[in-house]
Each structure stands twice: as structure tokens, then as C-alpha cells.
A and B are shown apart, each in its own frame.
Chain A
């Protein structure tokens, strides 16, 4: 029997833990997030603050870039063409389909079929249909698996996003990135394992810091927001008038005083504190270096588009995501707002697709050319999809689509997932999944699986029970994996 491979670097950090506990052993240099978690972890294989000692299954991917499309983009204008809707445009939806099913803002309104002006073309070797709003994505479909059979449990934004992020509709559980940080730790001793980047400020819907929360897991696994423009990490910059040398002098004094306290008191927590202050100092260099795009060649901006030069755009965040991936950040969460198209959907889809199309395609190409795509999983999804029914007058030009939880489309690429394929199918109205449903819990289970984790075994005990990302459900979807 083959043993699952161990996680590189853990042996070394176990040694570090021992060093912590031996009084006076201060030869340790660089201690980071990984080691801090490890130092606090205790002896159990997955202790209360622990990291996994070995993979449950052979890992395919090392990290995830999660492109969250906040608000819920329409599958009908992107990846799931339904000619029948155009034929029946303006006609009532068959009530056999919709009776008793949940809608959000359409509560109490007549349900009328809505077609689309989009044109679809078969792309890549597998002939995956992609709309004309995504000309750049059309060219990279050989890397992508489109999942047309996504399903969720939540009909509104707040519970929907919370569910996609944490596997539960109510707040309080850890987000996926926190679980991965908890299970696998960080590969970079100068950066957190879980980082979150936002774009689309002011567009619907809103966002909450709890979308990248550590929930009941220790706060060290909390996603750290990488912000732009301005100070990229909260409190990263020294106060005005304090240069790095002065900061270093202060830290040297703090370290000296803390060490003498450690000798008196003997609490290993002080050793951890010393290490974390050193880590903070290193972050003051490593983070600006990370966010400085000035050395990126022109060819890179050609890949992601000119928007990538503008801090805080989705394009710039995609480029940063690649830089984070290169540096071994475990879970890179992009959150782009602007997809909640209850009205004006035709025009607004043109706008939003334009913002994400080239950056997404550019990211895939860039990861591929650097050899990173094979062990970086890229996921593109909203919290749900949109209805085949119109919101507003289906014949005017200002209609939109309501929230749809029974069927929506996401895509995945890289990280040992299948490339160039369509997974699952919806009925001719795009209302129900008729083939290979992938529930959010299943997507979570499959993502963990790709990272070497059995979703049933990565657990944390809180309030009387062992919790996991997939709550009490979820199954790995082999059909998604290469």
C-alpha cells in the first residue's frame, strides 16, 4: 500500500515547536503563520489549533483561486444557452415547473419567460458553448470545465454567499479558505494562508468581512484582506514620520525586553509573540513587494488587459492572485460585486462581463505559461444563478432576472480538475438540473479532495459536535476530476 505523501516542511516546523518549548533556545529565525499555528497546535494529529500531518488522499492541487461573482451572474447570458426561452419569450412559465418553488423578488408576480439577445458559439476541442459577452474566455475553454448543474439551498444574497463560503446559511462557520489554512497551513512564512481581495465597490451586492471569517476556528486562520488602493493590509504601514529603521530599532527593543521576560516567566506564548512581531516586520516588506506591479512586463498587462494597471479593479486583483499563487498563498479569494441584475440585465451583463472576461482568461493563460495551473485550482461562481423568468416587463428593455437556486453555472480550471468539458445539464428552460447535479456541498467536498483532504475527516469540535465544511452532506464528484 502506498502511503499518502506527507506535507513538506512539517518535520522542520515540528522541530521548531520543540525549540519553542525549550527555554533559552532562541536560534530560530523565520517563524511564520504556519509555524505559529504549529507551535500552538499541541501533539494531536489535528489538535485544537492544528494542521494536518499527512494528506488523506493524494493531492492534485496546492492552492485555490476562488473568483466569487457576488450578486449571482446569469447563466443564460454566459454559459447555458436555452433557445427555447427565445421562442417562448413573453409567454408564461409552465406552472408545472414553478409551482411551490421559491423565488425572491418575484414573490407574488406572474412568471413570464425571458429570452436573451446573446449569441453562443462552440469553443475549444469539446465545443463548449460560450456567449459573445466572453470573447476572451472563448479562447481558453480547453482549460475549463463548465458546471451547468450547480445547486444551492439559499434564495437570498446574504445566506447564499454565506453558504457558498462556509457551507452554512447562517453566520458563525469558518469559510473555505479558513478550513484550508487550518488543515494545510501556509506555504509562505511571510504571508497568511488565506487572503481576500475585493472589487466592484458600490455595485450590488454588498460584502461582509465574515465572508472570509475563521468562524469558530482560531483567528489565525481568518482571511486577511489585501486592499487597494491604499494600505494593502490593515496597519501594515508605520505611522507617518516613522521610517523602517526606526521601526526596526523599536522592534529590537521590544524583542530584547520580551526575551528577558521569557527568561523570567517561561511562557512559550512569549516566544510566539516575539516570532509574530518579526513576521509583522517582514510583512512590511513582503506585502508591498507583492502588490507592486510596476515590474510586471507589458506582455502581462496585455494578457489581463489595461484595467489591470488600475488598483482595485477585478483585472488588477486577478494579476495579484497570480502573484499570491506564485508565493504559495493557500486560498486566494477574489470577490467581485455587480451581478445582481434584477433590472437592465442585457446592458449590465455587457458591462460586467467586460470587466471579468479578459482578466479571467488572462489569469488562466498566465498560470498556464508559468506552470502553475496544474496545481492551482481556479473556481468561478456566484452564490446562485438567475431565473429563466423575467423580472419587470419581459418585452421592455429594462427587464432583469430574479435569484435562482435550483440550477446555475460555475466553472473550474486547473488543479487536477478536468479541462475542456461541460459537466451536468439543465432542462430546456434552464430551470431544473436534469443531469449530474453538483450541490454546493459537493463542490466543497471535491475542492477539498483535490487538495488532498477527505472532507469527512477535516473536522473541528465546537458546541457539542465535530463540524466540517460540508456540514452533514457533500460528496466528491469524480466526474469533475481529471
Chain B
């Protein structure tokens, strides 16, 4: 090294050190208010983001045998005798030397990884070592302990413990909480948070009029007791449960899982303890004396997407479904992304691949074909709506009875028939069988349709015998050569007679096929034998009936009277060829064997053929059975078949799969919780044991994860913002003590969800006004104001329904998924191929159900839901994005239901007694936004109304079109131009930012 380079190197080093010092000072200054460096909050996130990939839990990727995710790794001796971190000794701490090194080969993290530390991060690590390098195993894996409630300066503000925690953090920053929001804002906020609907003007008035001390709490209690509470909570839970009404993969067949949604809504409404809610969903089927509801709850783990793609590998998907259950369970109850460990040890949290597959073993025992689709994917539980149970039972009995009658006729030993069968067989044995010979069709007519009485005799005979004149006109004509078996007649022709000769060497069965758009009467050798189609439908569908002919020559006569519907009338007669071929077979193989000695199959088949050939009562028994079956099928449609969990009786071994590949099996393992959490108590390691552990005090996570998500539901972001990930890569909690306090409180209360929510929404923190001060906290992470964010897709829609009055608030909170208006032609068909599923839109009350009941077809989510950030639910979703896009604006302005709501809201304004238009505008504001508008707002909407009225008075045709949108009734007495003008004002109102936003 030359002198020159040494000098420049020294200068660079000085510069670097000086710079580092300045940065340390400035960063420390900037972080005053953060308090002392805390390992969990300040250090672990840096190590996790920048170091763990090579020095973390993943043993396969670990470099130099060094790990920084454990205490031993950080403080223990290095191979060369040095130490990574020596508390209060920066010079001896290899970690600091390496992160400050100017030698690129020594510098950590290596520049090529692209994970360079920022100056602030370096400074924080140095500070940490100087301060004594405190360490904790990570709050995530340490059970929560209730911390002391901190004391605050502004002692008059807090209403409860929550406020102490929040205010402490604010005071550390020198911030003050916002003033309490006004009462109208509060009741609106509460209504959205607890029932997902805006308050009615009457509810607002009652609250404003209630001057008692506990007026606010009374509103809270009323809302918590509302049956809409469960609907609101289901909106939140169904994203986690990835609830959907279709399979998701490939053809995306429809399912009938709404029984599960009913369960979720009911569970929240009756305030089922969250611990029990957990146990029932994960293992309801394994509970002793499990109730029907508890079994329905297990649909949670059958909600995941499934495939029935032709050519798919059943084992591959069986494993996939189990893996999906693991990652969902981990996200929902542990707030950990265990899915990473499917292919390799987790890079940031102490979770190994082995842990993943040991968890998978809990979910790996579901019987049934993994490639079955829709509601055929066993195991299944049939759910019958109340009121239908009895009719369904009757139909089932009738179906069983008629089936038994038919079976008896077909197959049961019967001395007289068996004797005849023996004679028949004997005859056939010596006979050369020939196909039945059917002569050419001959036709007479068409004639003008006769009166009913004339139907009684074959007209040919009547005419020939009694009416010579008619007989002259009556003549049989053959068809052209092209006609073979099938005759086609125009549906508009008159009565036609058809005739053909039949010759057979033995008794034979003829199959006649007739379209039902004609009445057909049939005679064999002048004996009337059949009538079909009389006074039935005029659309052509096919019916068949049998004609039995003994050996010999016969004449078959048919009289066809078209009913004048659509399509040709078609008639055909042919021999049941199946019988011919089979008889030949049995002649050679079976007839020599006495009845008593025949194999079951031969016995039943020959018997069936013989009886079909000879006894017409088989036909009627079969028809009766078919009718009973059809009736049962029809009724069964109202029942649903919900997929549930069950344990296979044949235990499937579970293996670790290399890189998640189902064909590369490693070590065989058994079910267990991840090792970092210890082990399950004694007893069988099954889903029930897992579920009980999840809600036990030993598990550090479920209570934290759950309260954090409820916090997110109310405030827009969790105390840990990444509510799906509380692990090392997740964001550190803003208020860790509060999180733990709430978690312990939640467990102590017996996992009481309503009590938890009550605690949150009665806090002073919650009651703050949400106006945005000019603060350093634009995302409101420190809660110096109330929450303000856009409502989820469902509630925006519910708001319009509620304001217009289209929402039936008395409807029971349950039921099947509904198919509302859809834009454009059938989108389902547009996306599918082949015989696709049609979108059959609902009508009447079903159109106006709350958003939580909207049909969730994964491959073609309703476009309104899709643009409004609703997830497809292909995967478990712990938080929805909240975006603000032009396509949302288009949907909110133009979607049919929302326009209809504006139309019906306009009707409501026009029909209610109001002194003037300004009062109508005020009323509309109160219905939609709960509050009274300012004079300026009133005049804006009045001007819009006036301008629109001018336009529509001049164009009444356009007005008529506009006020005809939607299927709900419209009073004809309303003036169309006025109605259209009010519709425009309401459309504007429903599109205000405030309308879409919880404030």
C-alpha cells in the first residue's frame, strides 16, 4: 500500500467514524421519546430483516454456524474465541466491528446481499450494546402477563385502563388526545363497529334525548344485543375462515356451506366464548356427544379451495388441503406464517419444516375423495331447514316404499311367475331367436281434430264400419324411404294415424318414444293399451313407454293429436335390443342351470328380463318409484349439504415432504405442536387436543392475536399492524403492554368477545373525534384521534339498503347465499367453459339482503365486491386492503342496486310528510349520514335537485327510464321528473366520502 493510499484510507476512515458518531447522536436525539433501547422493539426487527436469512433459524441456510436469533448465538463464544456481543463493551463485540467495517470482505451484512444496514440501524445496535445489550426471548413466544396500568399526567381523560396505555404513549411524545366526538358521530361509529349498519334517525334522536350518565353505555349494550351483531362479526370472520360458495380451483363448482355462516352468526350473537368457538371449529366433531351445530362448525376446515380437475393427482391435492389447513390455523390463532416452513425451516421465526408437517398430521386424516366437487365432497352433513324436516321425511319414506315395491316385482321369487319363466326358457332353448320385424310406417291424415267422444274408438275402424263416405277418404299411405323408425310430424298438423306391423318369434318388448307435445293413443291388435301426453305440456320433451307383444304377428296403431306447441312431434318404436343380446347370452350360459343353483347376478338378470318382457305392472311400479324419487330430489334441494371434518378410520401416515413435494417423502412423523411451544399434555394428539392447547394459558399467542384483530376491526390497524404475522418479521406492536393487558383481560373474562368489544368502544380513546390534526402521525398509529377509514364493501351496500328502507331489518340473521343484480350478460358463463353454471339472479326480498349473504363465487367474485377490496377468499385473509380507485367510483355511482337504493330513498322522501324540499334534503342526510346537514350542504343538494328537475321535466322519457331501475315496486302516482330529480340527489348523497367512511 503506497503512502498516498494509506493517507486516503485514513481520511476515509476518520470521515466514516466521524459520520457514524454524528449519526448516532442525531438518531438518538430523534428517538428521544422512545425511551431506552428495547430488544424486542428496537433490535430484533433489525436482526430479523437484515441478518436472520443467513444467521437465523433455517439450519440449511445458516452461515458460519452463527445464529443471532437465540441468546446463546448472540452472547456465547464464537469458534475463534471472540464474542458476538459483549454487553457495554462495543470494542469487544464482533457484531459491531463487522457492521461498521470498512473492509467489504468483512462488512456485515455482505454488500452483495443488498441488505445494508442504514445509519440509524447501525446507531441503534451500537446504542443497544453500550446500554447493556438487554435481551428477551421475544414477546411472541412468551405468554402475556398483565402489566401494571401506567399512571398518566392528564388524569381526567382516561375512562379505563386502555386509555392509560394510550395516553402514556401520547404524553411521551408530547401529544394530547383529541376531544370527544359529537354524539351523532359516536352513535354512527358505534353502529358500524357493532352491527355494520347506520343508526336510524329515531335511534339518533333517542340517544340525543337521553341525558343520563350511562346513555352511551346503553347504546353500546343495545347494539351488542342486536341480532345484527352476529352479521357484522361474520363479515370479519368469514375472510379468516375463507368462507365461499364455490370450490375455487378449476371448474369452481358450487358448494352449500351457508350452514357454517349461520353457525358463525349465531355463535357471535349468543356470545359463545371465543375459546369454545375455537374448539368447535377446529374439532367440534371430536367433542363428546357433539351437537349438530358443533359438527357444522368444523366446516371451517373444509372451506378451503379444492379441485376436481380431470388429470389432477388425488394425493397431491389431499396433501395440499391439509397444508392449507395448517397455514390457515397458524394465521388465525397463532398469527404466524407457518406456510414458509412447508418447504424449508422458517427464516425468521423458530419454526422448522418438521414443525410444519407435525402440525399437518393433525389435519391429514380427512376421509373422502380429494377430487370430489361441490357438495359431493365427503364428509358431508345434510342440513334441513326447519319446517321442511317432516315433508322431507315423508318423501324419503315414499321413495323407499316405491323403490321396494319395484324391486320386489323385478327380483323377488314368486312361484307363479317363476313357473312361467321356466316354460319360457324351455321354449327359447330350442328356438332360433330372431329380431322382431317391424314393418314400414303407414300414415293416414292429417284430419281435423275430432271431438272428445270420437277419441274412444280407433277412428279407422269407426270410419270403416260406420261411415262409408269417410272410409273412401281414409287411406293409408307409406312414408318415403327415408323414414325408418322415427316419424316426425309438424306440431301444427291435425290428427294423424300411424300404423305398422310387428312380427316376432317370441314374446318381445317394444320401446315407444313419444314427444309430449302431442296426445298419443296406442292400440295393439285393436286393444287399447296406452295413452300419453293428454293435456300436458306443449313443449317437446321425450317420454317412453313399453309395449309387450307375444309371439306372432301384430298390428300396432297410434293416433297422434299434436297440442300445437314448439318443436316437431316425434314418434318411434323399436325393439329393446338389449334384451335380444342378453337372451342369446343367457341361453348359452344360464338356461341349463336350475333357478336355485344360479349365480345371484344371472338369477336376477334373467328374472328381470323375463318379467320386463311379460308384465306391465313393472312399468307402473317403476314410474311410481321415479316420481317419488323426483319429488324427493325436489325437496332435497332446499336442504343443504355442508362439508364437515371427520377422522378417517384408517390412519394415513404423515411424512415430512422434501421442498413440499408430495412425491418426495422424508421421515414419518406424528402430530405435535411446534417445538418452540413445548408439547401437548398427555393424551391423544388430535385436533381436539390442538384446539384446547390453542386456547390454553400455555399458548402465548391466541389471545393476543384475537384481541389485536378486534382492535384492527375498530381502529383500522392492529396494535401489531401486521395482524396476520406477529412473528419476528411482523411489525412490532405500538403498545405491547396494552396488547398483553387486553389479552390477559380477554382470557380472564372467559374469552368474552362482547365484553372485550365493550371495553374497547367505551374507552376515551375510542370516543375521540377523528378530525385529522396536523400531526406527525398521519396513519394514526398512536391514536391521538378517533379512527377514520372507508367501510368494507358489505357495509357500504348495507348503508344504501338501510337508508332506502329496502333492507328488511326483521329478517332472521341466517340463510343461503343470495345472487343480486350482476352487470352485463351472465359473467359466470363468460368465465366458464362447456356446460357452465348459469347465474340465476334472485328476486324480491333476496335481492335486498345484507352484503354478508352475497354469493361468494371465487373465480368470478361479484364485480362490486371485487373492486371494493373484498378478497376472493382463495386464502385466509386477516386484513383487507382499503384502496381508493376510479373503478370504485364507477361502481358506487352506477351499480344497479345502489341506483335502485337511490331511487327508493327518493320515493321515501317524496312519500313522507315533509313541509318543503329543504326538509326532504335534511331527512335524506339523517337517513344516510345520521347527522343534520349544514345550510350550505342543503343548498348544494337543492340546487342539484332543481337542475335535475329542469332536465327531466324536459325529458320525461329519460326520467321514466331512470326511475324504473331495479325490481322493487314504485308507486305510480309519483311524478317521474320529480322522482328522477330526487334520485339524482340521493345518488350524490350515497357517493359522499363521508357516506363511505366510518368517522
Contacts and interface: CB of A to CB of B under 8 A. Distances in A.
Given A158-B250, A202-B834, A250-B988, A235 B823 contact: yes
Interface string A30-44: 001100100010000
B825 interface: yes
Contacts of B963: 241
A172 B893 contact: no
Given A235-B895, A254-B988, A273 B890 contact: no
Given A209-B861, A270-B993, A40 B889 contact: no
Contacts of A268: 772, 778
A159 to B, nearest CB: 8
Interface residues on A, range: 35 or more
Given A156-B307, A235-B893, A246-B984, A260 B824 contact: no
Contacts of B794: none
A346 interface: no
A192 interface: yes
Interface in B962-986: 962-965, 980, 984-985
A365 interface: no
A243 B958 contact: yes
B256 to A, nearest CB: 21
Contact of B869 (A219, A269, A272): A219
Interface in A182-213: 192, 198, 201-210, 213
Contact of B860 (A159, A204, A208, A276): A208
Contact of B311 (A156, A171, A206, A219): A156
A33 B887 CA distance: 10
Interface string B882-898: 01111111110111100
A268 B772 CA distance: 9
B987 A250 contact: yes
Given A105-B310, A242-B962, A403-B311, A33 B875 contact: no
Contacts of B885: 33, 36, 219-220, 276
Interface string A251-276: 01110111011101111111011101
B788 A240 contact: no
Contacts of B860: 208-209
Contacts of A142: none
Given A107-B313, A250-B944, A172 B874 contact: yes
A235 B772 contact: no
Given A171-B872, A235-B863, A242-B962, A107 B311 contact: yes
Interface string B929-950: 0000010110011011001100
Interface stretch (B421-429, B461-469, B724-732): B724-732
B867 interface: yes
B832 interface: yes
A267 B534 CA distance: 73
A443 to B, nearest CB: 21
Contacts of B790: 269
B247 to A, nearest CB: 10
Contacts of A252: 944
B249 A464 contact: no
Contact of B890 (A158, A159, A235): A235
B883 A253 contact: no
B944 A234 contact: no
A240 B831 contact: no
A163 to B, nearest CB: 13
A104 B310 CA distance: 8
A197 to B, nearest CB: 12
Nearest to A160: B309
Interface string A426-466: 00000000000000000000000000000011000101110
Contacts of B987: 250
B197 to A, nearest CB: 21
Nearest to B947: A249
A224 B347 CA distance: 36
A170 B336 CA distance: 19
B193 interface: no
Given A36-B885, A280-B889, A206 B250 contact: yes
Contacts of B114: 456-457
A239 B339 CA distance: 46
B894 A239 contact: yes
B943 A241 contact: no
A235 B827 CA distance: 14
B312 interface: yes
Given A209-B860, A249-B948, A257-B988, A273 B884 contact: yes
Interface stretch (A83-91, A131-139, A225-233, A372-380): A225-233
A245 interface: yes
B771 interface: yes
A233 B951 CA distance: 27
A240 B884 contact: no
A300 interface: no
B348 interface: yes
A148 to B, nearest CB: 24
A203 B833 CA distance: 5
A464 B729 contact: yes
B994 interface: yes
Contact of A206 (B312, B859, B864, B894): B859
A464 to B, nearest CB: 4
B881 to A, nearest CB: 5
Contact of B894 (A238, A264, A279): A238
Nearest to A391: B311
B239 interface: no
Interface of A: 32-33, 36, 40, 102-107, 155-159, 170-172, 192, 198, 201-210, 213, 218-220, 222, 224, 227, 230-231, 233-243, 245-247, 249-250, 252-254, 256-258, 260-262, 264-270, 272-274, 276-277, 279-280, 283-284, 337, 402-403, 456-457, 461, 463-465
Given A155-B313, A158-B249, A465-B337, 18 more contacts: A104-B310, A105-B311, A159-B249, A198-B831, A202-B834, A208-B859, A210-B859, A234-B891, A235-B823, A236-B890, A246-B948, A250-B948, A253-B940, A253-B943, A257-B992, A270-B993, A456-B114, A465-B729
30 contacts: A156-B309, A158-B249, A171-B874, A171-B875, A201-B829, A202-B834, A204-B833, A208-B858, A209-B831, A209-B861, A213-B872, A233-B890, A235-B867, A236-B890, A247-B893, A250-B893, A253-B985, A253-B988, A254-B988, A257-B940, A264-B771, A265-B788, A265-B999, A270-B993, A276-B886, A280-B889, A456-B114, A461-B729, A464-B727, A465-B347
Which 3 pairs of residues, A with B, have the shortest CB-CB distance? A104-B311, A241-B962, A241-B961
